[in-house]
């Protein structure tokens, strides 16, 4: 029984020591110092100056090694922490995906902005709930927002170049001066949105809904607008030159085409049949 108690105390002492890495390091340093100094005693005693010179030379080399290794370890540690942080932000976005609540929306946006600070722009936001959030000036180049709910949100000067926005709902949102060049927004809803001076050049807007949208001075050059709905849209000074699939039937549904830029054939048809759209 007595031996059992002593053995348990030794085990507990060993565990307590193992939980203190600084103490272990100091103990190891002390043991090695005693060993090295004892083995070097004869050199100190009989040829101190020459031996001390060699020690100093080795010390200089050691300092150089420590500096190089220290910088390398610091760099690797920083990269590791950065990768871990990025992974954490993406995991949190995944956790909140499809959760339709105000908390989920704002926490998702927080993670998007943190990823932007790490220069990560191509973010998976499929089915995310982002309603009534502030994404102004955020960069989402090549991001995937298919089927996302971004209604009544602020996306002023948001960069969505090359982003996937198929079936995305932007209804009631503010995308003034947003950059959607080469975006894929087939079936997206821009109903009642503000797209003033927005760039939608060469974007895919097949069957997209722009009903009641404010698209003054919007750039839709070379965009694919087959089946797009422009009912009551304000296209004042909008640039629609080269738009693929654009028909006079779509244009006549607009609220105004005053000073809009159109291809010659469409412009001539509008002047002949619906000149009032160009005047108001």
Q: Which residues pair with 229 in a beta bridge?
A: 209
Direct distance between the N- and C-terminal alpha carbons of the chain, in angstroms, rounded to an integer: 103
Q: What rounded mean pLDDT belongs to the chain?
A: 87
Confirm if 199 and 220 have CB atoms less than 8 A apart.
Answer: no
Question: So what's the pLDDT on residue 53?
Answer: 67
pLDDT at 280 over 70: no
CA distance 28 to 11: 19
For residues 154-165, average pLDDT: 97
pLDDT at 220 over 90: yes
For residues 150-155, average pLDDT: 97
Q: 184: pLDDT confidence band, cut at 50, 70 and 90?
A: very high
Q: Which residues pair with 129 in a beta bridge?
A: 149
Question: So what's the pLDDT on residue 6?
Answer: 66
Question: So what's the pLDDT on residue 80?
Answer: 72
pLDDT at 2 over 60: no
pLDDT at 43 over 70: no
User: What are phi and psi for residue 139, nearest 5 degrees?
Assistant: -105, 120
Q: 83: pLDDT confidence band, cut at 50, 70 and 90?
A: confident
pLDDT at 1 over 70: no
Torsion angle, alpha carbons of 244, 247, 250, 253, to 10:
140
Q: What is the CB neighbour count within 10 angstroms for residue 164?
A: 24
CA distance 236 to 245: 20
Q: 19: pLDDT confidence band, cut at 50, 70 and 90?
A: low
Closest CA to 153 of 176, 122, 179: 176
Question: So what's the pLDDT on residue 81?
Answer: 79
Q: What is the CB neighbour count within 10 angstroms for residue 225?
A: 23
pLDDT at 142 over 80: yes
Closest CA to 137 of 118, 112, 168: 112
For residues 44-73, average pLDDT: 68
The residue ranking higher by pLDDT, 43 or 247, is 247
Q: 7: pLDDT confidence band, cut at 50, 70 and 90?
A: low
Question: So what's the pLDDT on residue 45?
Answer: 64
Confirm if 206 and 225 have CB atoms less than 8 A apart.
Answer: yes
Question: So what's the pLDDT on residue 37?
Answer: 66
- Point out the least confidently predicted range of 35-49, 146-160, 178-192, 242-256: 35-49
Question: So what's the pLDDT on residue 21?
Answer: 67
- Point out the least confidently predicted range of 137-146, 159-168, 201-210, 268-277: 268-277
CA distance 162 to 199: 12
Closest CA to 119 of 156, 163, 75, 89: 89
**Whole-prediction pTM:** 0.74
């Amino acid at each position: 029984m007595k031996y059992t108690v002593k053995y348990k105390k030794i085990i507990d002492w060993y565990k307590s020591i193992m939980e203190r890495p600084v103490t272990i390091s100091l103990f190891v340093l002390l043991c090695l110092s005693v060993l090295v100094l004892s083995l070097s005693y004869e050199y100190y005693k009989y040829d101190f100056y020459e031996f001390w010179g060699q020690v100093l030379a080795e010390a200089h080399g050691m300092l150089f090694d420590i500096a190089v290794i220290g910088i390398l370890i610091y760099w690797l540690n920083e990269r590791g922490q950065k990768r871990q942080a990025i992974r954490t932000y993406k995991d949190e976005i995944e956790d909140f995906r499809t959760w339709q609540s105000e908390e989920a929306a704002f926490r998702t946006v927080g993670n998007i902005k943190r990823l932007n600070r790490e220069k990560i722009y191509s973010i998976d936001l499929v089915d995310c709930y982002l309603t009534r959030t502030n994404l102004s000036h955020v960069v989402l180049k090549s991001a995937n927002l298919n089927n996302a709910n971004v209604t009544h949100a602020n996306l002023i000067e948001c960069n969505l170049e090359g982003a996937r926005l198929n079936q995305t709902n932007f209804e009631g949102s503010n995308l003034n001066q947003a950059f959607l060049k080469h975006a894929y927004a087939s079936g997206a809803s821009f109903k009642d949105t503000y797209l003033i001076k927005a760039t939608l050049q060469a974007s895919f807007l097949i069957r997209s809904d722009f009903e009641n949208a404010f698209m003054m001075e919007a750039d839709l050059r070379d965009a694919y607008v087959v089946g797009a709905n422009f009912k009551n849209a304000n296209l004042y000074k909008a640039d629609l030159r080269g738009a693929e699939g654009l028909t006079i039937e779509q244009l006549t549904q607009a609220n105004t085409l005053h000073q809009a830029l159109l291809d010659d054939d469409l412009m001539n048809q509008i002047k002949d049949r619906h000149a009032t759209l160009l005047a108001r």
